[in-house]
Structure 1
């Protein structure tokens, strides 16, 4: 089931913040996803750590649902598509890609994308270190001010951002979030088998938490 998004007008563009921890850019009909970490389950299982096998299939099935719902012309993966070295989980990605041959798929390379580029090109992924589609620059990691180019606003992943809520009885709950700062936005990690890091905010930042299948302004 796909849940209603929160529409966010930003830089004269319409961004749909999806409770499924992805972003849909309406004007470009582009789905944007960060940090799936496919293969991480196989990586840990290979090391003898018991992780449910279906996690990989669940993540790809959810992307399929988002494709059917939003009908993107292209998908931009903001790095860490495949977690590490080759394992059997790659076969799921091969099968899934074959279902959506008509969609342009772009991988902005991340620190975990260590496989030979030929594997991705064989699946018809276009590879970039960073990618500019005005008014945005897409990167895996947040960029320092000196690295930012063309005055484009950066959209990135890597951090697995979260926001921590404090209850009256000292309860702490960290929720995944979209964090929009002055010069760049960090979007949540899509993969189920990922953690969260609380991101510090300053005055003027916009933070949107994902709580109970709903995106809310924080």
Structure 2
């Protein structure tokens, strides 16, 4: 766990890739890509079916840890069209006490009607005070952008030339990009500038590395 302060607001960064915004009592989650595993299996990929439940178990663990009043998905909640994982999502929603909000991402092609029927609020972007929540990174003057989409990662290199690629939180002057939460989502290696901050998600803690 790592705590950062942005414009007098406090954000806890967790190993799972979620961030808890203390002042808003909001759990921020990016790029879950539900349905991706079922999509892969349908097209012959050797992904174990038990991996499907992993995303929901990890979500449950994050909710239990932070007890949020709002859960805000920063886009790409679902990977593609409706499949069997939608039923699991419906069941998961029934056990949630928090308000559920989705910032629509490029993969969110499921009709908004399906979400609204389940009580999920959908936005293209969401302003909370001076914070602008989007899926794609979109810096805008006068606001701090919190987003996903990139699936940021960082490569750690040791003295013996060994290396390890980990997902990370990537903070620049006016932006915080969350790592992808979902299983089998991959990472995009970031190349930070001197003023940027990188927080890698290790197994048991979040560590600033630059």
- TM exceeds 0.5? yes
SS of alignment partner, residue 153 of structure 2 = strand
Q: Distance in 2 between matches of 1:170 and 1:216?
A: 20
Structure 1 residue 135: Cα displacement:
2.6
Deviations 1:161-186 (A, max 9, x none): 01111122322211111110012111
Which of 162, 169, 173 is the equivalent residue of 2:160?
169
Runs of 4+ more than 4 Å apart:
none
Matched, 1:86 2:82: yes
1:56 to 1:135, Cα distance in 2 relative to 1, 3 A: farther
In the alignment, which of 38, 54, 58 is matched to residue 54 of structure 2? 58
With structure 1 as the length reference, what TM-score do the two structures score?
A: 0.92
> What residue ranges of structure 1 are gaps of 5+ in the alignment?
none
TM-score by length of 2: 0.96
How far apart in 1 are the matches of 2:206 and 2:168? 8
Query: Any conservation in 2 of the 1:20–1:213 contact (CA below 8 Å)?
Result: no
Matches within 5 A, 1:13-162: 13-100=9-96, 102-143=97-138, 145=139, 148=140, 151-162=142-153
Mapped to 1, the partners of 2:61 and 2:150 lie a distance apart of: 25
In structure 2, C-alpha distance between the alignment counterparts of 1:213 and 1:160, rounded to whole Å: 20
The reply to whether residue 209 of structure 1 matches residue 200 of structure 2 is yes
